Amino acid sequence: MDGRVHGIDVSHNNGAIDWDAASDAGIQFAFAKVSQGCDPTKPWYADTRFAENWPAMLDAGILRGGYHFIGPPLATMPQANWMDDIHSQIDHFLDLLGPLQPGDLPPVLDLENGDNPGRWQSLITADRAGALALVRELIVYTAAQSGVTPILYTGNFWTGELGDPSAVGDNMPFAANPLWLSQYPCVHTPVPLPGQPGKTDSGEAASFDEYALKLDGRTPLHMPALWGGKDNPNWTFWQFSAFGKIPAISPNVLDLDVFNGSLAQLEALTIPAPPAG
C-alpha cells in the first residue's frame, strides 16, 4: 500500500454530506467549494453548501480546505478594468472563507475553464500572454491577500488550453505552489450511474478500495512541465475520480482524492499555530 492519505472534495452539487460518516470511512482531509467566478448575479457565485460544510468538517476532525472556481473577466467589463474582476472574485472568495485557523489547509484556486469555456477559449486564442496574465494575477493576488501560498487545482486547462506554461518563458513561476492534479485513469469498463438512465461513469475508480487495487503507488499522467513533467513529477494532491461511491457519506457521486505523503506531511502543509507567548 502506498500509504497516501484519503480525501474528498465537495460542492453544492453533492448535496448534504455526513461528515462524521466521512471521518469513520477514513477520510482525513476534504476541500469544500466556497465560490465561483466574478458575477454576483449567478447562483454559483457563493456555494450554497459551504456555510454548513466548513464547520462540519472541523467538528468531524477532518483537515479542511476551501476552493474558488476561477472565472474570466465579465464580457461587459472594459479590458482596462479586467484586473478589477480578478481582484473582486478573490476578495469575495477570501471574505466567505474567513480567517484561516491553525490546522486549516491553504486556500485553493480551481484553475479550469468551466465557469465560461467559450470566453476562456476566445481570450486564449486572441492573446495567450494576456490570458496567462489573468491567471497569474489570480494566483499572485490570492497569495498577497491571504498571506498564504495557495494550492493550485488544475488539469487539461493548464497543460492543454493554456499551453503548459513555463516559469521563465511564460512568467508563471509557481512550481512551489502545491499542485492538486485532476486526472482520471480508466480502471474498469464504464458502468451505469444509479438514478441516471442512459448515463455511465468514465471508468475511473469508484472507491478507495478500487484505487488500492488499480492505482496504488502510481503517478498521475499528463503532469504539467512546471511541476516536473512525466520524468520528475512533483504533485501534492491527486483527484483520481469524479464518480466515487461512498453511500455512508452521500447518496450522490463524490470526487475522490489522495495526498502524496503521510498524514504528518499533510499536517505540515496546514496553517501553523502562532508562536507561544
Type of residue found at 30: A
Please indicate, yes or no, whether the overall pTM of this predicted structure exceeds 0.95: yes
| Single-letter amino acid code for the residue at 162 | L
Q: What pLDDT, on a 0 to 100 scale, did the predictor assign at position 197?
A: 87
Q: Which of 186, 189, 178 is nearest to 153 (CA)?
A: 178
From CA 205, how far away is CA 260, in angstroms rounded?
17
> Using CA atoms, how far apart are residues 251 and 1, in angstroms rounded to an integer?
28
pLDDT confidence of residue 121: 95
Rounded Cα–Cα distance for residues 142 and 36 (Å)? 14
Name the stretches of the chain with pLDDT < 50.
Answer: none
Structural domain 5-269, CATH architecture: Alpha-Beta Barrel (3.20)
Amino acid 84: pLDDT: 95
- What is the pLDDT at residue 1? 67
Q: At what angle do helices 117-126 and 128-146 cross, to 10 degrees?
A: 120
**Cα torsion angle, 180, 183, 188, 194, sign:** positive
Instruction: Give me the residue label for grid cell 483537515.
Output: 63
Please state, as a whole number, how many other Cβ atoms lie within 10 Å of the Cβ of residue 132. Answer: 18
**What cell does 28 get?**
482525513
Give the integer Cα–Cα distance in Å for 215 and 202: 15
